[in-house]
Amino acid sequence: MNDPDKLASGDPVLRIEGLRTEFRIAGVWRAAVDGISLSLVRGETLALVGESGCGKSMTALSIMGLVPAPGGRIGAGRIVLGGEGKAGVNLVGLPEGALEKLRGDRMAMIFQEPMTSLNPVMTIGDQVAEALVLHRGLSRAEAAKRALAVLEEVKIPSAATRYHDYPHQFSGGMRQRVMIAIALACEPALLLADEPTTALDVTIQAQVLGLLADLKARHGMAMLFITHNLGVVAQIADRVAVMYAGQIVEEAGVDAIFVAPAHPYTRALFAAIPRMDLDDQELAAIPGRVPPLDAMPEGCRFAPRCALARAGCERPQVLAEAAPGHRARCHVATGVLETDALAMGAMETVDA
């Protein structure tokens, strides 16, 4: 087991450093998540945005210790879970028994499809109460009382009556509320939400987003919200990290991302959104597709699809400052290549 690092009050609830999650393909380990670094503080929502296949869900599964083995592994990096008044612990390499004690207690996850995540032969009340029995040591009666209160908090209508119903008796939106109740039962410091509104209609989606925002503010937890919907990002996020082909390609506050996106990929995502204020418009599609793990470009991974590609894009890119508090992995936006960054780092070391 890794020795816990003491985190002072105000330090990140989650700190990811150089995370590399790999899968074995034809005998070679290939990175699905390639050296990403992120942090989250109490009461903050970080949106992780990108197309399908960019590594967003795999990042969340890496945090939860759910990378499928033996074909997958965390090859490098640290994932430190902390929180106010809590000792930070590196989750990478932690034994399964220790991870089970943290899942549902100090960290919890809402999955994309609630019908496949809920147990079809357990009542929804028992599924909420289960976490309280396991992690809080409550009796069945105490856990049932607390579970009912949580179901009422997530606005399940007639919660006392529906406590004994099964998942198939609930609509998609209500099942997602049950998933939120299970995740919040033990009041975790960190909540991971993996596209929790994808399968819902627009009206129910807005209700679930509003509920998550209210609950986050009430409990003061940090939330990593995974989505490909930029409209959702505008509604719920404080900061945004844009992910492409396993790397973070842009990171900034939500206002900066929407006002002045720096990376060509982020701009392409915005260009693909239909505008309601224009009667005559052409929908812009991003050509090509996300590269497979065994065919990643040597330099900028977005370059084969990028309309702004030029000399230098064939070389490795570094996540550098495009504006104060706004970083991008693009030499066109920042003027910095990986080799330049290494050279500047070496010069600073010599000067010191």
Classify residue 174: in a domain, yes or no: no
Domain assignment of residue 311, given as a range? 300-352
Classify residue 164: in a domain, yes or no: no
Asked if the model's pLDDT at residue 20 lies above 50, the reply is: yes
Asked if the model's pLDDT at residue 216 lies above 90, the reply is: no
pLDDT band at 345 (very low <50, low <70, confident <90, very high): low
Classify residue 166: in a domain, yes or no: no
Classify residue 328: in a domain, yes or no: yes
Classify residue 327: in a domain, yes or no: yes
Asked if the model's pLDDT at residue 348 lies above 50, the reply is: no
Classify residue 342: in a domain, yes or no: yes
- pLDDT of the residue at 114: 73
How confident is the model over 137-193, as pLDDT tens digits? 999 999 999 999 999 989 899 999 999 999 999 988 899 899 999 998 998 999 999
- pLDDT of the residue at 204: 81
Asked if the model's pLDDT at residue 1 lies above 80, the reply is: no
Residue type, 245: A
Asked if the model's pLDDT at residue 337 lies above 50, the reply is: yes
Share of the chain above pLDDT 70, in %: 91
How confident is the model over 50-81, as pLDDT tens digits? 999 999 999 999 999 999 989 999 999 999 99
The structure's pTM equals 0.88
Classify residue 343: in a domain, yes or no: yes
Classify residue 319: in a domain, yes or no: yes
Q: How many domains does the chain have?
A: 1
